[in-house]
Chains A and B, each alone.
Chain A
C-alpha cells in the first residue's frame, strides 16, 4: 500500500492470441516456433541425451531417470488430475518387474513382448488390488497405497516365494544398449504427450471433476469409482512399464524393486517440477536423479544436500520450475501507472 508510487506491475499475455486452448491461428514462422520450440527442445534434448553422455555409467543414469520420470508422470496424473495422492509407485514398479521376470524366465517370452504385457497385466493386477481403497481420499489413500509395497515385499521374503530374498535372476537383457535407452526415452515421450492429450479429452474433464467435487460427479449420474479405477489403471500401467524395463535392464528382479525410493522420489520431482503440469515432474526427475548420482561421492551427506534442495524449493518456489517457467515464457511484465 504505497501512496507515493502509484504504479503497479501488470502481466500481459505474450505471443499469439489463442481463441480457445488448443486452437491456434498461426501467421508466421515466428509464431510457429514460439509454440513448437519448448516441445522441440524437450523432444530433441531427450533424444540427444544418450549421444551427449556416452559410457556405461551415464547410460544407466539415463535409463533410471526415465523410469523415475514415468513414475513421476503417473504420480502427477493421479494426484493433480484425479485427486488420488498415491505413494504406491514402488508397488507398481515391483509388480511390473516381477511380472516381466516371470514371463521371461518361466514362459521364455522375449523383452519386446514381456514389457508391454507386464504393463497391461500389471496395471490390471494393481488396479484390482487397489480397488477396495478407491473410495478413500486424501491422506488415507496415501497411507494405504504406501502399505502395499511394504506388504508385498515382506510377503515374498517371509514365504520365500518368487525367489525369496535372492529375487529372480537370469532375465534376458535388451539386445543392445542403444536400443535400451531409446526404447525407454521413446516410451516416456509418447506417454508424456499421450497423458497430456488424455487430460484434455472428455474423460480427462470427468477425472478433474472427480478431483474437485466427487459429489457433483455422482449427481451428474457418473460412477466415480469406475473413473477412479480407470485412472489408477492408466497410472499403474505406466509404473509397471517402468518396472518391467528395470527388470530387463538389470537382468534381475528382487524385493528391492519395492523400495520406497520409487514412491518418494517421484513426489519430490513433482514438487520441484511443478505439480499439475505433467512436463514438470519429468523435468524434476531430469534434475533430481542426476543430482543424487553426482552427490554420491559425499556418501551419507548426500541425503542432507538432497533434503536441503527440496526444502529450499518448497519454501521459496513452491509453484515449481515448470509453472514459473511457463509464466515467464507466456507473459511479460511492465509497470503501469494507475
Chain B
C-alpha cells in the first residue's frame, strides 16, 4: 500500500535517514523502533510530507539545508513530490509527536477541525466512532484542549487524525509520557481502530514492549539506518533486540 525506497534525508551535512526501505501493506500495523535521534520522527515527517514544509521554511530563513532523496509510492502512485496537505487528502494522516492538539479549542472543536475535509456523513460517523472507542472524550466534550491530561490529549490527537478519514495512520510516539496503564489502553484502542476501520498503521516508539504484541512487521532504526527488520516473532527471538528494546536480559530467562 505504502512503499518507500531509498529514503535519505540530510540535515545540512548530517545524515538523518540512510537508505531506508519500508513497506506497509493493507490493514497492517507496522512498528518502527529506535532510540532518540535514530530518525523515527524524521521518517514520519518524510512519509507525511511535512519534511518538505520544514525544508522550505529552513531555506527561507537561511537555516539548515535539508536534502531529501528516495521514492515514496502509495497505491502504485509516486507521491514523493506531493505536499503534506495533498498526501493527507489521499489518506496519509500523521498524528504528530507531542500531540500538537489545538490548545485553545474544545475537544469537540478539535475533532471537527480534523474532519474539516471529510463529508458531513463521514464526519458524523467517525465522530460517533471516536466517542465509542474513547468514551472519556465524550464526557470531556466541552473541555478546552489545553486542560486535558496527557492521556486524554493523546486520545484526542488520535481521534482528530481519524476524523481526517485516513487510510494510513502515522502515529509518532503515541505513548510518550503516559502511564503503563494508559499505554496498554491506547495500544488496545489502536489495534481496534486498525481492525474496525480497515486501515493501516505505522507506529513509532522507543520502548517496543507495549507495542510489539499488536504489530505485524517491525523495523529497528539506529542512527538513521534500518539495522534490522522482521516479523514480530523474528524480532522477539533475537537476543540483541530483546535486551535493547524489551528490557529483557538473557540471564533472567
Binding site for B on A (CB under 8 A): 1-3, 6, 8-12, 317-320, 323-324, 327, 338
Q: Hey, which chain B residues are within 8 Å of A327, CB to CB?
A: 62
What distance in Å separates the Cβ of A280 from its nearest Cβ neighbour in chain B? 12
Q: Hey, which chain B residues are within 8 Å of A11, CB to CB?
A: 12-13, 65
CA–CA, A247 and B139, complex, Å: 66
7 residue pairs of the A-B complex, CB under 8 angstroms, read: A1-B69, A1-B72, A1-B80, A12-B13, A318-B62, A327-B62, A338-B8
Contact status A3-B13, CB under 8 Å = no
Q: Interface centre among A8, A9, A318, by most B CB within 10 Å?
A: A8
What distance in Å separates the Cβ of B45 from its nearest Cβ neighbour in chain A? 14
What distance in Å separates the Cβ of B202 from its nearest Cβ neighbour in chain A? 19
CA–CA, A2 and B70, complex, Å: 7
Contact status A8-B61, CB under 8 Å = no
Apart from A6-B69, A11-B12, A327-B62, what 20 extra A-B contacts exist at CB < 8 Å?
A1-B68, A1-B69, A1-B70, A1-B71, A1-B80, A3-B70, A8-B10, A8-B67, A10-B12, A10-B13, A12-B13, A317-B62, A318-B60, A318-B61, A319-B61, A319-B63, A320-B62, A323-B62, A324-B62, A338-B69
In the complex, B81 has a CB within 8 A of chain A: yes
Type the 1/0 row for B126-158, where 1 means its CB is closer than 8 Å to any CB of A. 000000000000000000000000000000000
CA–CA, A120 and B143, complex, Å: 51
Chain A residue with Cβ nearest B67: A8
Q: Hey, which chain B residues are within 8 Å of A9, CB to CB?
A: 65, 67
What distance in Å separates the Cβ of B212 from its nearest Cβ neighbour in chain A? 32
Type the 1/0 row for B65-89, where 1 means its CB is closer than 8 Å to any CB of A. 1011111100000001100000000
Contact status B61-A2, CB under 8 Å = no
CA–CA, A317 and B60, complex, Å: 7
CA–CA, A11 and B65, complex, Å: 9
CA–CA, A318 and B65, complex, Å: 15
Type the 1/0 row for B2-20, where 1 means its CB is closer than 8 Å to any CB of A. 0000101010110000000
CA–CA, A71 and B20, complex, Å: 51
Q: Hey, which chain A residues are within 8 Å of B69, CB to CB?
A: 1-3, 6, 8, 338
What distance in Å separates the Cβ of A65 from its nearest Cβ neighbour in chain B? 25
Type the 1/0 row for B202-230, where 1 means its CB is closer than 8 Å to any CB of A. 00000000000000000000000000000
Contact status B60-A1, CB under 8 Å = no
Chain B residue with Cβ nearest A317: B62
Chain A residue with Cβ nearest B6: A3
Q: Hey, which chain B residues are within 8 Å of A318, CB to CB?
A: 60-62
Contact status A3-B62, CB under 8 Å = no
CB-contact partner of A319 in B10, B62, B72, under 8 A = B62
Q: Hey, which chain A residues are within 8 Å of B63, CB to CB?
A: 319
Q: Hey, which chain A residues are within 8 Å of B61, CB to CB?
A: 318-319
CA–CA, A338 and B10, complex, Å: 11
Top 8 A-B pairs ranked by shortest CB distance?
A: A319-B62, A1-B80, A8-B67, A323-B62, A1-B68, A10-B13, A319-B61, A318-B60
Chain A residue with Cβ nearest B10: A8
Q: Hey, which chain A residues are within 8 Å of B10, CB to CB?
A: 8
CA–CA, A324 and B63, complex, Å: 10
Q: Hey, which chain B residues are within 8 Å of A320, CB to CB?
A: 62
CA–CA, A3 and B10, complex, Å: 15
What distance in Å separates the Cβ of A157 from its nearest Cβ neighbour in chain B? 41
What distance in Å separates the Cβ of A2 from its nearest Cβ neighbour in chain B? 7
CA–CA, A318 and B6, complex, Å: 33
CA–CA, A251 and B65, complex, Å: 52
Chain B residue with Cβ nearest A9: B65
What distance in Å separates the Cβ of B113 from its nearest Cβ neighbour in chain A? 24
CA–CA, A323 and B64, complex, Å: 12
CA–CA, A2 and B8, complex, Å: 11
Chain A residue with Cβ nearest B62: A319
What distance in Å separates the Cβ of A3 from its nearest Cβ neighbour in chain B? 6
Chain B residue with Cβ nearest A274: B62
What distance in Å separates the Cβ of A139 from its nearest Cβ neighbour in chain B? 16
Q: Hey, which chain A residues are within 8 Å of B70, CB to CB?
A: 1, 3
What distance in Å separates the Cβ of A317 from its nearest Cβ neighbour in chain B? 8
Chain A residue with Cβ nearest B12: A11
CA–CA, A327 and B65, complex, Å: 12
Type the 1/0 row for B145-176, where 1 means its CB is closer than 8 Å to any CB of A. 00000000000000000000000000000000
What distance in Å separates the Cβ of B62 from its nearest Cβ neighbour in chain A? 3
Q: Hey, which chain A residues are within 8 Å of B6, CB to CB?
A: 3
Chain B residue with Cβ nearest A336: B13
CA–CA, A323 and B59, complex, Å: 12
What distance in Å separates the Cβ of B167 from its nearest Cβ neighbour in chain A? 22
What distance in Å separates the Cβ of A336 from its nearest Cβ neighbour in chain B? 9
Q: Hey, which chain A residues are within 8 Å of B60, CB to CB?
A: 318-319
What distance in Å separates the Cβ of B181 from its nearest Cβ neighbour in chain A? 29
What distance in Å separates the Cβ of B238 from its nearest Cβ neighbour in chain A? 30
Q: Interface centre among B62, B63, B70, by most A CB within 10 Å?
A: B62
Chain B residue with Cβ nearest A314: B60
CA–CA, A21 and B8, complex, Å: 32
